[in-house]
Amino acid sequence: MAKRVLRIVLIVLAACFLFYALAVYMIDPYMHYHAPWFGLKPQRSDDSRYENYGIARFFDYNAVMLGTSVTQDARCSEYCSLYGVKAIRIKFAGSYFRELADFLRFAYAHHEGQIDKVFWVLDITHFLTAADKVGHTDNPEYLYDDNLFNDASYLLNKDVLPDLGRALVNFSPIDFDWKVWNDPTGYDALIRVYDPNRPAQSEEKAFDGDMKAMVLENFESNILSFVREHPETEFTFVIPPGNVFFWDYAIRNGEYDCQIGAMKLAAGEILAYPNARLFCYADDPGKTRDLARFKDRVHFDPAMMSEIIADTAAGKGQLTAENLDARMAALREMWLLPDYDALYAGEDPWAGV
- What domains are there in the chain, each with its CATH number? 49-151+172-344 (3.40.50.1110)
Q: What is the mean pLDDT of each run of 10 residues along the chain (353 residues)?
A: 76 89 96 96 92 96 96 95 98 95 96 96 96 90 88 94 94 92 91 95 95 97 98 98 97 97 98 98 96 95 96 98 97 97 95 82
- Gap between the Cα atoms of 95 and 78, Å rounded: 24
99-152 pLDDT, tens digit each: 999 999 999 999 999 999 999 999 999 999 999 999 888 889 899 988 888 999
232-259 pLDDT, tens digit each: 999 999 999 999 999 999 999 999 999 9
Contact 167, 27 (CB under 8 A): yes
Range list of β-strands (E), the chain: 63-67, 87-91, 117-121, 234-239, 276-280, 318-319
Calculate the alpha carbon distances from 288 to 149, 190, 283, 331 in Å.
49, 14, 7, 12
Which pLDDT does position 1 carry in this prediction? 66
Closest CA to 30 of 139, 130, 132, 126: 139
Mean residue pLDDT across the chain: 95
17-32 pLDDT, tens digit each: 999 999 999 999 999 9
Q: Is this prediction's pTM over 0.85?
A: yes
